[in-house]
């Protein structure tokens, strides 16, 4: 029995001195239920962490693992027309139930993209950064992208195209709003790939 007690004493000493990796205490799992979902389009993600997202079951329930144990905000798409943002606090090494999440009519943003000559560029990509929404690649000759539904709030819009400078703008939307934003992409004066990894040239916004 004494040897067992000494063993536990050693374990506690190691833990107190940082001898163990407490990584499991730095992340946790969030679960909850989104009301009024259309399961084929519904999803939930962590704002600012596009890698942390999950699909939603037919009854609206979801579970999101590996979430940092801190205050954060969820970006929720409930249906083709409704969305929400919800502030939550994730607890380390445990499952945190955030309860039911109600959504509201989402906003829709139409982005119209041209170059400085008024022509529609090729290879246009449009993204709302940090939302977990997929980047939209426009088909050749199509100068518009429609994003939504979006919960009310402000977002960073990034637009790229072949051989032109990237453009980033902050956009803010209200509940149920239909907003149109015209974006003109300037000529890439640098004429090439500055960082070796951006096929669009110009500054790397993402």
What integer is the mean pLDDT of 17-34? 73
Looking at residues 85-114, what average pLDDT do you find?
Answer: 96
CB-CB contact of 159 with 135 (8 Å): no
Q: Looking at residue 148, what is its pLDDT?
A: 96
Residue 120: pLDDT band with limits 50, 70, 90: very high
Instruction: Give me the percent of the chain exceeding a pLDDT of 70.
Output: 80
pLDDT mean over 59-86: 97
Residue 101: per-residue pLDDT: 98
CA dihedral of residues 157, 158, 159, 161 (deg, nearest 10): -170
Residues 156-187: tens digit of each pLDDT: 999 999 999 999 999 999 999 999 999 999 99
> In degrees, to the nearest 5, what angle opens at C-alpha 166 toward C-alphas 163 and 172?
150
pLDDT of residue 89: 96
For 58-69, how does the pLDDT look when each residue is reduced to its tens digit (9 = 90+)? 999 999 999 999
Q: Are 77 and 68 in contact (CB under 8 A)?
A: no
C-alpha–C-alpha distance, residues 102 and 173, integer Å: 18
pTM as predicted? 0.78
Ramachandran assignment for 157, one of left (phi > 0), alpha (psi -120 to 50 degrees), beta (any other): beta
Place of tokens 């050749």: 140
- Does 111 or 17 have the greater pLDDT score? 111
SS3 16: helix
Q: What is the DSSP string of 97-131?
A: EEEEE--EEPEEEEEEEEETTSPPPSS-EEEEETS
Give the pLDDT score at 18. Answer: 39
Instruction: Express each pLDDT in 183-206 by its tens digit.
Output: 999 998 765 444 444 444 444 433
**Mean pLDDT across the stretch 90-100?**
96
């Amino acid at each position: 029995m004494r040897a067992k007690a000494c063993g536990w004493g050693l374990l506690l000493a190691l833990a107190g001195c940082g001898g163990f990796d407490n990584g499991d205490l730095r992340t946790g799992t969030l679960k909850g239920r989104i009301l009024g979902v259309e399961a084929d389009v519904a999803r939930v993600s962590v704002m600012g962490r596009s890698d942390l997202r999950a699909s939603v079951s037919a009854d609206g329930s979801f579970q999101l693992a590996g979430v940092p144990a801190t205050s954060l905000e969820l970006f929720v798409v409930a249906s083709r027309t409704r969305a929400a943002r919800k502030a939550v606090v994730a607890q380390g090494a445990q499952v945190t139930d955030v309860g039911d999440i109600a959504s509201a009519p989402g906003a829709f943003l139409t982005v119209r993209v041209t170059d400085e000559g008024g022509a529609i560029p090729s290879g246009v990509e449009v993204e709302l950064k940090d939302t977990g929404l997929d980047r939209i690649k426009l088909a050749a000759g199509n100068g518009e992208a429609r994003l939504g539904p979006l919960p009310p709030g402000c977002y960073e819009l990034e637009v790229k195209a072949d051989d032109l400078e990237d453009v980033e703008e902050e956009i803010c939307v209200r509940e149920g709003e239909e907003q149109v934003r015209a974006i003109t992409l300037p000529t890439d004066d640098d004429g090439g790939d500055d960082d070796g990894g951006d096929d669009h040239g110009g500054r790397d916004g993402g």
